[in-house]
Structure 1
């Protein structure tokens, strides 16, 4: 008996497989276009697209730039490559004015935003948080008072329990609540280093980290990262042998912008290398909860036996960008970080901490994560497929296993800053690649946010962006 609960896109998958089988299609043969299949099957373009994306994920189909979908070869989408020839040198960060302009553009709601690394607003638990806050406002008369400086005890307990899934057993008393991960990073950098010191970082590196280092007068030593599996431990060891490095700043899980994830053996080795050199490790794990499949990956701190890794994260990329609530586990630097916090922001909003702790205690967070993980997996795959359809030949894209960001390499003739300027004039926001380095690199790269659902407006904007990139590459629209 045939199963009754079959989704329309699953029917399309079966139909495509039947077309391939009955027509004897071979690797490289073209299948019907999305629009033709939509017309023939009497289904929406989005349903057909979902089916094609899933078939691509299964390895049945592959998409090609400005051409369509074909019976898959071994590799469906060109992946990024990393050059082993990149030299590791000390560089001063000097990009404040450009970062300032791009950040302003990222906050412009009139733009179609592919720039900011923002989660899907329609999927956020905003209604639940609003309901929780309303209850607190009506029934908790001391919501408007100061919170204890290290953070709400209930929230710290929730975070302590949450960290178990990342392989880290930590007491609530070892956690400090902060106003987002940015505050945490600012405090710990000022504790472990001073102006003129060198910090080892990934390359490419989130420009927000670069801005923080620039504001403190620190220098960076960029260690090349592999697109799929993050920083190379051997290259890191070479850098630490050669330079006087005061700390390593790293995103081991779904880094921004590459989206790579360090294998556990590399996490362990990096922790050991830094411990042997007495170099503190600052672990930024803001995307760690957003794995696309399987279990949440272990954090770097779970491999630390010497108290040398400082862990920081936040709820900004998962639950609420506007709350700006994060935390840091500073280990042996606890007192110094508390001193920095008390001398600057003092405490983090009590109302927001109460709302988050109530939401986490409700048990809804894990169910919410399961939903958004599946959604981001599908959205990233769909964005990649459209990139390959709309962008010029020679375009490559990262293949992240978590988060919602794509790092794209365009043909060498495309200047991503010119593309950024052209896109802004058309009401489209992107981030040019050269902002993710202190050196003269990534001129033909861009970062693309896949957090927004692919409605017609966003698909048309991607098509327009691809045409602009093709024009800059000399390949025409």
Structure 2
């Protein structure tokens, strides 16, 4: 049964990729069920299951007595255009505008399409609550004091090392620093390898929180072109770093935010090699690595690092609970600097929560939870893509995320999503304008939608209202 499941998913992925890439035109007939069954050596029922999945995604339609055809609306699903980015680093100034967007999006009655947060109903909150009670009874000493020296709970570090075996090496226990979030981990890494005024290479579009960190630390952003499917351009990064004027590279290679792209292994290998050759610090946000839609977990850049230059940051906020406030960094040769920064800024991360997370990981519950959560997020992303295709202009372009739960939408050039935002909030629709993902203010006709909630009729209606605003 499991093999059949994997086979139908693989066929759906292959056909969907061909359609999204534009290699099959709208209205074009797909190969027949019997032909696909024969050529792919699959049962007819498995082929039909794959085609129905594509039908649910809005990519194909069945015509009685004729077969399956590419839907005309699938043409809207082509990837956004790659854009040229500024050749010079620029100061960052996004925080005030971003905070206003996020605050207004949290108002009662506004559909939760802005902040990239998962629905509480998808998280194992009851299991975590039980563990908190058990840990408090069995380990009362954890509440007796704190330490700015022994900050990392050995049980949690051990679980993180074990989890890395399949995708990174494994990582060494001595590399880890447990942090209060992935955000803190990224900030600590930046503090460890940069000085105010330095230039940091970032993806374009880049996750707005990374831009906020650069702004807060007085750093400049050098925007590197990023492909919606394969991620940051290694060629462009190569050119940008030849003169040695870039202090660090900050990126999300697995299920990037906002594009949902996954960098191919060969690109990761090249980036790690480039980092070693030029002594370039790489800060890798892998928070969506476990939320991939692939058959296997994508490896981080850290898996290809032989020089200790890659700092791998992550947390469990997108899959267990944002309230845990537990992240980590596998810091390579920068571990001592990062641990010092952690000591003087926030001290040890909550030891009770560290123990709770360690026991949850050790129990095997995490992997069971993640198997279901990945499929749920994938369904929600596809439902949002289909909704956007139904309600926004025909020339709209959108990403095909390979993981995570956000969707990047490129509207016609004449649409200014920043100018439109206040009207959208008044209509009960939240989103993040595209210009907040660029230090230089690009992507004004783009926006990002959160797909972390089940696609209810209320969410569908919010997208419909957004479409009406864009068309008005």
Partners of 1:390 and 1:134 in 2: CA distance: 47
Structure 1 residue runs without a partner (length 5+)? 1-25, 31-49, 64-68, 472-477
Equivalence for 1:304: 305
Partners of 2:72 and 2:427 in 1: CA distance: 36
Question: CA 1:135 to 1:60, structure 2 compared with 1: closer, same or farther past 3 Å?
Answer: same
Equivalence for 1:56: 55
Equivalence for 2:401: 400
Superposed displacement of residue 123, structure 1:
1.1
Equivalence for 2:82: 83
Question: CA 1:147 to 1:452, structure 2 compared with 1: closer, same or farther past 3 Å?
Answer: same
Q: Is the 8 A contact 1:62 1:76 kept in 2?
A: no
Task: Please give the root-mean-square deviation of Cα atoms over the aligned residues, in Å.
Answer: 2.5
Deviations 1:211-259 (A, max 9, x none): 0000011001000100001011101111112560000111110110011
Structure 2 residue runs without a partner (length 5+)? 1-24, 30-48, 63-67
Question: CA 1:62 to 1:446, structure 2 compared with 1: closer, same or farther past 3 Å?
Answer: farther
Query: What does residue range 203-214 of structure 1 map to in structure 2 within 5 Å?
Result: 203-214=204-215
Q: Is the 8 A contact 2:80 2:398 kept in 1?
A: no
Superposed displacement of residue 301, structure 1:
0.4
Partners of 1:132 and 1:107 in 2: CA distance: 30
Scaled by the length of structure 2, the TM-score of the pair is 0.84
SS of the aligned residue for 2:318 comes to coil
Superposed displacement of residue 82, structure 1:
3.4
Q: Is the 8 A contact 1:56 1:76 kept in 2?
A: no
Scaled by the length of structure 1, the TM-score of the pair is 0.84
Q: Is the 8 A contact 1:194 1:218 kept in 2?
A: yes
Question: CA 1:378 to 1:53, structure 2 compared with 1: closer, same or farther past 3 Å?
Answer: farther
Superposed displacement of residue 470, structure 1:
1.4
Equivalence for 2:93: 94
The number of residues matched between the two structures is: 423
Equivalence for 2:138: 139
Q: Is the 8 A contact 1:150 1:175 kept in 2?
A: no
SS of the aligned residue for 2:323 comes to coil
Q: Which moved more, 1:109-118 or 1:339-348?
A: 109-118
Question: CA 1:105 to 1:261, structure 2 compared with 1: closer, same or farther past 3 Å?
Answer: same
Partners of 1:292 and 1:389 in 2: CA distance: 23
Superposed displacement of residue 405, structure 1:
0.6
Are 1:268 and 2:269 matched, yes or no?
Answer: yes
Query: What does residue range 5-404 of structure 1 map to in structure 2 within 5 Å?
Result: 28=27, 54-56=53-55, 61=60, 71-72=70-71, 77-83=76-82, 85-108=84-107, 110-146=109-145, 148=147, 149-242=150-243, 244-404=245-405
Superposed displacement of residue 57, structure 1:
6.6
Equivalence for 1:38: none
Partners of 2:186 and 2:272 in 1: CA distance: 19
SS of the aligned residue for 1:312 comes to strand
SS of the aligned residue for 1:94 comes to coil
Deviations 1:63-82 (A, max 9, x none): 9xxxxx97447965432243
Equivalence for 2:451: 450
Equivalence for 1:464: 465
Partners of 2:435 and 2:426 in 1: CA distance: 20
Q: Is the 8 A contact 2:82 2:227 kept in 1?
A: no
SS of the aligned residue for 1:225 comes to strand
Q: Is the 8 A contact 2:244 2:278 kept in 1?
A: no
Q: Which moved more, 1:205-214 or 1:96-105?
A: 96-105
